[in-house]
Amino acid sequence: MFMLEKAMVGSRRYWVWVCALLTLIAVAFGFYLHQLSYGLGVTGMSRDVSWGLYIGQFTFMVGVAASAVMVVLPYYLHNHKDFARMTILGEFLAVAAVTMCMLFILVDMGKPMRVFNVFLYPQFHSVMFWDMVSLSGYLVINITITLVSLHAEQQDVHPPRWIKPVILLSIPWAISIHTVTAFLYCGIPGRTLWRTAVLAPRFLASAFASGPALLILLCLLVRELTSYDVGKKAINSLAVIMTYAMVINVFLLLMELFTAFYSQVPELTEHFKSMYLGTVGPNSLLPWGQLSVFLMIASLIPLLVPTMRRNETILAFTCAMVFSALCIDKGVCLVVCGFMPSPLGTMTRYVPTLPEMTITVGVWAVGALMVTVFYKIALSVEIAREASYVPAYKYAAGEGVTGLQAHARSNQSV
């Protein structure tokens, strides 16, 4: 069932990594139990800053989940063959990311045991209801796609015909999850940092930069650790997509800044001043806001210079820059600074506490564990399939032994 047995065999390195993640999760779960019994007062959130790291990270991870579409769309709609070996990795990443989103929502809830009230008393006028619907739908769609395609690969048959429309549906659905997540914010009358029509486009642009950045890093890592290589062409293509998305993201940020600072409407400027300049404050997040802008702009150089982008070492650093810039920008600053100043003009300090950060790391560890297990299963299937092909082909060429060796090596290294 679900080929989980393939995740139960692995090298010593694999098990050390899995155990480390499980330990992190266990520690975080302990802190979560404390939060559950004491209340969300264990976090740095307050009456004025009522959403913090959890909701910020949720927002960021929705983007990572949605960004799978940047591999799926070229592959299925444009028949971009380079992505053939990358698509399954992108889809599995999406499953892990959506699960993380749901966990972030759950840990942020004051009454998590009442979560099903959202479906028991559905409120069609609430964006949060639609966000729950779109996220759970996306999870189901992606689990279906990955399981069916993997099963087909394992059996070495074509996937069933009905999966194609499901894959096509996943494309607009991916766009929808992040659009609806942006609507959570931009539909609120009193928070001027968020109440901008550019928010959803900017969310999508930053998602399509940060998601591919993570996927490239994972592909490079997979190639280091196993014999599975998505191919240089795939990585280069994805890097181009990431470049476009990052440029659009920075462009949209500049649009926001121009509108605010040329019109000089205090409502519009004060948030940016507190986030990036520190002239409205004090804002405990100022260094983070500045760091994210610095990383965003700095990453544009290696992204836009083709020779640098094609150098895999530089590319890996660039991806790390893009990912961390956007993780700080969307995952912390954009959400938290929306509450600064408060409706009554107070600048309330927000600093995440140790339990809050540990729980956040714990959710990340769950995501990392899911990616590890999924990739382990998927790569075992893929490598076994390729190995079983290779000997047959090479046997004809009189190189059977090499093929068998390759098979043995791949079994070891996964």
Partner 1 sequence: MKITRKEFLKISGACLVALSGKEVLAVLDNPAEGQSSSSSAGKARKQLGMIVDTRKCAKAEGCTKCIQACNAAHNIPSFQDPDHQIKWIWEKPFDDIFSSYETQYLDASLKEEPTPVLCNHCDNPPCVRVCPTGATWKRPEDGIVMMDWHRCIGCRYCMAACPYGARSFNWVDPRPHIERLNPDFPTRTKGVVEKCTFCSERLANGQLPACVEACPEKALVFGDVNDPKSEVRQMLAKSYALRRRAELGTGPNIYYLI
Residue 77 or 109 having the CB closest to partner 1:
109
Q: Which of 391, 394, 392 is nearest to 407 (CA)?
A: 391
DSSP summary character for residue 158: P
Q: How far apart are CA 179 and CA 312, in angstroms?
A: 32
Q: How far apart are CA 148 and CA 95, in angstroms?
A: 14
Residue 134 or 226 having the CB closest to partner 1:
134
Residues that bind partner 1 (CB under 8 A): 38-41, 43, 45-48, 50-51, 105, 108-112, 114-115, 117-118, 120-121, 123, 125-129, 132, 184, 187-191, 338-339, 342-346, 348
**Residue 52: CB minimum distance to partner 1, A:** 10
Residue 43 or 237 having the CB closest to partner 1:
43
Q: Cβ distance 43 to 52 under 8 Å?
A: yes
**Residue 396: CB minimum distance to partner 1, A:** 57
Residue 120 or 396 having the CB closest to partner 1:
120
Q: Which of 375, 369, 319 is nearest to 92 (CA)?
A: 375
Residue 126 or 388 having the CB closest to partner 1:
126
| Residue 232 backbone dihedrals phi, psi, to 5 degrees | -65, -35
**Residue 126: CB minimum distance to partner 1, A:** 4
Residue 46 or 144 having the CB closest to partner 1:
46
Residue 186 or 213 having the CB closest to partner 1:
186
**Residue 26: CB minimum distance to partner 1, A:** 24
Q: How far apart are CA 328 and CA 323, in angstroms?
A: 9
Q: Going by C-beta distance under 8 Å and a sequence separation of 6 or more, which residues neighbour residue 145?
A: 91, 163, 166, 167, 170
Q: How far apart are CA 336 and CA 342, in angstroms?
A: 11
Q: Cβ distance 85 to 233 under 8 Å?
A: no
90-125: burial string, b at 16+ Cβ within 10 Å, e else: bbbbbbbbbbbbbbbbebbeeeeeeeeebeeeeeee
Q: Cβ distance 328 to 206 under 8 Å?
A: no
Q: How far apart are CA 201 and CA 243, in angstroms?
A: 16
Three-state secondary-structure class, residue 121: coil
**Residue 54: CB minimum distance to partner 1, A:** 11
**Residue 360: CB minimum distance to partner 1, A:** 17
Which conformational region is residue 348 in: left (phi greater than 0), alpha (psi within -120 to 50 degrees), or beta?
A: beta
Q: Cβ distance 159 to 381 under 8 Å?
A: no
**Residue 288: CB minimum distance to partner 1, A:** 20
Residue 149 identity: S
Residue 184 or 368 having the CB closest to partner 1:
184
* Opening angle at CA 105, ends 344 and 21, nearest 5: 125
Residue 18 or 128 having the CB closest to partner 1:
128
**Residue 30: CB minimum distance to partner 1, A:** 19
Residue 126 or 412 having the CB closest to partner 1:
126
**Residue 317: CB minimum distance to partner 1, A:** 36
**Residue 28: CB minimum distance to partner 1, A:** 19
- What is the residue whose two structure tokens read 């650093």? 317
